[in-house]
A = this chain, B = another copy of it.
């Protein structure tokens, strides 16, 4: 990273070079694939890292990994075992401590002892994170945060950490995944509209983007992949997509579709295809982990609810009364319980209902998807794709680059992308 005032805007020629660096055959020689987790000691990151360690030690299978389905076998994805982890964390904590608590809370503590040394190794590669325009709730947590005066300084710091990680481990590919706590909603800024305006603003204003987007800038500017698994802003900014396109980087998001929303997007098929009229769909989530606690910040709750609440309307094509609640119930720990009540109308205006209760561990559901996304982003890197990866829509509540809301259709598109596109790169 240079010290120029607009360091991250790259010229098309640079892009071409970077992109062409990746030959189709490179995949075979990839030894280790870099994975950088923002929120590295959070519950999702912890289970992702612990899970990879468990798999590497041959202690557990691949249940919950989408890319372990037979349909993905032909794609020759990077093995999960090849992942090497680093990350940013704003709290004073460790993966070992986090895993000890979370794995117990998810009922999977029996393999903890076997992987302590793996977790300690990753702990050595976790760097202090940044908090900028995240909302008070997150900023209160951020006690392990270096003093930073501007967004520009933050980007440089992040970029330095990413570069050092890659250099130290000799990594050719890196996927950065945001699994940090959800940020408060921020007001849109005109500077987000183009890369030139953004770069201009970054040199003149102290605060232009929230932390999630600063991480995205750093990653994309380095040509690395960026995935936003949270409802925070991340790379959902026109300027950042421009950066990705120029630097030959891929990005995807946002907000991992793990539980209630997933059920919703599947169940809605029933009503649409049977022409039953949805009258209202009310969902209530209760959860007891840090994610639940930080959601007590109303601004951040709003961000979360927004992406949860739109799936149904998009799928049915008419106005449905919907409501989603999230409340923190500490005693539940990592368990997330969602109750949904669906009121619908059938033939002759008869009134009927369906209700469901989903009881799952959010981190356990999310973590394998993070590993899947890394593999798929890496595939896109190898294929020389750039910009938004719309094909990854089935992983997200609020997918970028896809107008499809139905989960089954999203997944079918992903399978098509895997096979058709793969063929193209092999020509």
Contact = CB atoms under 8 A, between A and B. Distances in A.
A73 interface: no
Contact of A47 (B63, B262, B267, B347): B347
Contacts of A62: 275
A407 interface: yes
A65 B347 CA distance: 7
A64 B345 CA distance: 8
Interface string A309-336: 0000000000001010101011110000
Contacts of A142: none
A82 interface: no
Given A270-B407, A325-B327, A394-B273, A348 B111 contact: yes
Contacts of A411: 273
Given A66-B273, A354-B357, A348 B50 contact: yes
A114 to B, nearest CB: 12
Max chain B C-beta neighbours (<10 A), residue from A274, A347, A361 = A347
B358 A64 contact: no
A365 interface: yes
Max chain B C-beta neighbours (<10 A), residue from A343, A345, A346 = A346
Contact of A280 (B332, B354, B358, B394): B332
A407 B51 contact: no
A348 B275 contact: no
Nearest to A338: B354
A286 interface: yes
Nearest to A358: B354
A119 to B, nearest CB: 14
Contact of A348 (B106, B282, B325, B327): B106
Max chain B C-beta neighbours (<10 A), residue from A66, A263, A348 = A348
A354 B356 contact: yes
A337 interface: yes
Contacts of A367: 347
A343 B356 contact: no
A417 interface: no
B357 A357 contact: yes
B263 A354 contact: yes
B347 A352 contact: no
A341 B280 contact: no
A201 interface: no
A365 B368 CA distance: 35
A367 B347 CA distance: 8
B347 A51 contact: yes
A66 B275 contact: yes
Interface in A255-311: 262-263, 266-267, 269-270, 273-277, 279-280, 282, 284, 286
A30 interface: no
A341 B337 CA distance: 9
A364 B347 contact: yes
A206 interface: no
B364 A348 contact: yes
Nearest to A369: B274
A350 interface: yes
A51 B348 CA distance: 7
Interface string A355-383: 11111110011011000000000000000
A95 interface: no
A424 interface: no
A349 interface: yes
Given A62-B275, A352-B364, 6 more contacts: A51-B347, A60-B349, A66-B274, A273-B411, A331-B343, A354-B359
Interface of A: 47, 50-51, 54, 60, 62-66, 68-69, 103, 106-108, 111, 262-263, 266-267, 269-270, 273-277, 279-280, 282, 284, 286, 321, 323, 325, 327, 329-332, 337, 339, 341, 343, 345-361, 364-365, 367-368, 394, 406-408, 411
9 contacts: A63-B345, A69-B275, A266-B270, A273-B407, A339-B341, A346-B365, A347-B364, A352-B364, A353-B359
